[in-house]
Amino acid sequence: MPTAYPGIGVSRGIAIGKARILQHGQVEVLEYTLPTSQLDSEVQRFRHALAQAREQLLQIRARIPGDTPGNIAAFIETHLLMLDDATLAEEPEAIIRAQHCNAEWALKLQADALLRAFATMDDAYLKTRCDDVIHVVRRVQQLLLQGGEGHEPLLEESAEPRIAVAADLSPGDLVLLHQQNISAIVTERGGPLSHTAILARSLRIPAIVGIPHVHDYINNHEWLVVDGNHGTLLSDPDAATTHFYQCKQASEQAAYDRLQTLTDQACRSSDGIPITLQANIELPEDIAELKRVGAEGVGLYRTEFLFLNREQAPSEEEQFTAYRETVESLNGAPLTIRTLDLGADKAFVPVRHISSNPVLGLRAVRLCLNETSLFKPQLRAILRASVYGPVQLLIPMLTNTGEIDQCLHLLNTLKRELRAQHIPFDEQLPVGGMIEIPAAALCVDQFARRLDFLAIGTNDLIQYTLATDRIDEAVNHLYDPLNLAVLRLIRHIIRSANEAEIPVSLCGEMAATPSLTRLLLALGLTRFSLPPTTLLEVKHVINHSNIKLLQQQIHELLQCGNEALLRQTINELNSDLPELSF
């Protein structure tokens, strides 16, 4: 008799296989007191475990295939950096000596303190860092407890498909499991923004997280079905259930294969309107995936990833090299470089400003204008890279036109400096702004007079319009891309950009959500920027959409005060869409 366990589907796809229970829960750590004479050797034992953990991670990194997207190796890099960070490498030593305690306990105390500090922060990126701390600490604690034995999730050889079931899995664990041909993963802990979830999506491994005590319910070697689309785990499926999911799996694979044939096709609505699909990237290495899906350049390059997990900001030269190589690798397609969107609370060490409400505090362009020693080298690097291909500069989180004027003034000063130094740059470098604050959206006509293009950042625009923290689960129900106020703002921004005759794109998650694609087309959007992984699906929807017909329906929809009716009308926009889910 099949039993269903609901969880959160964080990586799509169906898998059918035998459970392989991996014990990756919290490590049981006991405290014991040491005499002074043993403290030196305890510190040595701790250092040895750190060195072994480092060695394990280096081995995992070396085993990542060369064609894997760049963000994957970056996760391992994050863990390596954490192992070297004084907060994890040195503080526990001080605790061992001060409290005469064992290394496991000292590490636990330090990790608990760090996690308590993270818990008070208001930032999605930092919350994923919490998972990283847990994974790194667990690796070291297991080495301490097991006297140096690794905790690699090794699976026995098997011809049958296997599904890993664990309390928690780190990105490093997933790399190893992937190499051992794991079919899917199911965990108690984790969320859609965790690095393990992001990695599972990149590797196309179906994944469900958030099933409490999952390994108490599942037996080793029991048959399971993982439905990553709906976040449902089924144990002990009967023949009819297995057959149903086998058919679903086959049709999803066929749909996926069909989508790949769209790579070289133009993106054009069924009534002939060309639509531009660009990619969001985070690291230069992401360009390979962009090319694979045929994106028309980069609509959003989140440069903050060059700055995270390090003590020093990258120099102008280092940034110039990264930007130059990226634009050159695009072979003539445009590269939109967004200037730093760091919050004061993000993991870039030299900038320390404690804000009582970081989401509303000194972040993005506010921080850059405040810390010109951070901003100027980036602007110079972007200007210098602009002679190697079509570069555009994009400023995030603009609140008012004064900030635009300040940025343009600084840019002009740097241009004069470069001219005087005979360093070439594109004199016509287009400068755009992100519209992600309601104040900017409402006054967008004024912004458009000063800028060459606009990009709508709906992730933040929704959060600020609805006064709803995008990562606070307690108010998740209010974070709604379909809220009428959000839709009206998006339409207003697009109309204003059209009136000003400047391009406008949308680069938040809404652009990457196929069920919202027709709605955005109806609102007048003709440029999307989205992660390469969902680009072909969105292209499929566009190629099967008649924009003129959609636009006839939008006026009434934007007058709809009833949320349920609004949702139903939006669903109806998609009703004749050919099946494509995979």
> What residues make contact with ligand PEP under the rule CB under 6 A?
300, 302, 341, 436, 457-460, 507-508
CA distance 74 to 81: 10
Rank residues 411 and 510 by Cβ distance to ligand PEP and give the closer one. 510
The active-site residue, picked from 195, 215, 368, 540, is 195
CA distance 445 to 439: 11
Q: Which does 458 bind (CB under 5 to 8 A by kind): ligand PEP, Mg ion, none?
A: ligand PEP
Rank residues 42 and 403 by Cβ distance to ligand PEP and give the closer one. 403
CA distance 110 to 127: 17
Task: Write down the least CB distance from residue 463 to Mg ion, Å.
Answer: 9
Q: Which does 13 bind (CB under 5 to 8 A by kind): ligand PEP, Mg ion, none?
A: none
Cβ pair 432, 393 in contact under 8 A:
yes
Q: Which does 508 bind (CB under 5 to 8 A by kind): ligand PEP, Mg ion, none?
A: ligand PEP
Rank residues 432 and 457 by Cβ distance to Mg ion and give the closer one. 457
* Angle made by CA atoms 402, 407, 411, in degrees to the nearest 5: 145
**DSSP of 453-516, one letter per residue?**
EEEE-HHHHHHHHTT--TT-GGGGGG--TT-HHHHHHHHHHHHHHHHHT--EEE-SGGGG-HHH
- Residue at 363: amino acid letter: R
Q: Which does 430 bind (CB under 5 to 8 A by kind): ligand PEP, Mg ion, none?
A: none
Rank residues 426 and 460 by Cβ distance to ligand PEP and give the closer one. 460
Rank residues 368 and 522 by Cβ distance to Mg ion and give the closer one. 368
Strand pairing category for 232-235 and 223-227: antiparallel
Task: Write down the least CB distance from residue 69 to ligand PEP, Å.
Answer: 18
Burial class (CB in 10 A: 0-12, 13-18, 19+), 49: buried
Task: Write down the least CB distance from residue 441 to ligand PEP, Å.
Answer: 12
Active site residue 215: no
Task: Write down the least CB distance from residue 470 to ligand PEP, Å.
Answer: 9
Rank residues 165 and 300 by Cβ distance to Mg ion and give the closer one. 300
Residues 6+ away with beta carbon under 8 Å from 336: 278, 297, 298, 299, 300, 301, 391, 392, 393, 394, 432, 455, 529
Task: Write down the least CB distance from residue 351 to Mg ion, Å.
Answer: 18
Q: Which does 131 bind (CB under 5 to 8 A by kind): Mg ion, ligand PEP, none?
A: none
Which H or E run contains 186? strand 184-187
Task: Write down the least CB distance from residue 542 to Mg ion, Å.
Answer: 24
Provide the 10 A C-beta neighbour count for residue 337: 24
Q: 541: closest CA among 494, 578, 487, 507?
A: 578
CA distance 123 to 115: 13
Active site residue 507: yes
Catalytic positions are 195, 507
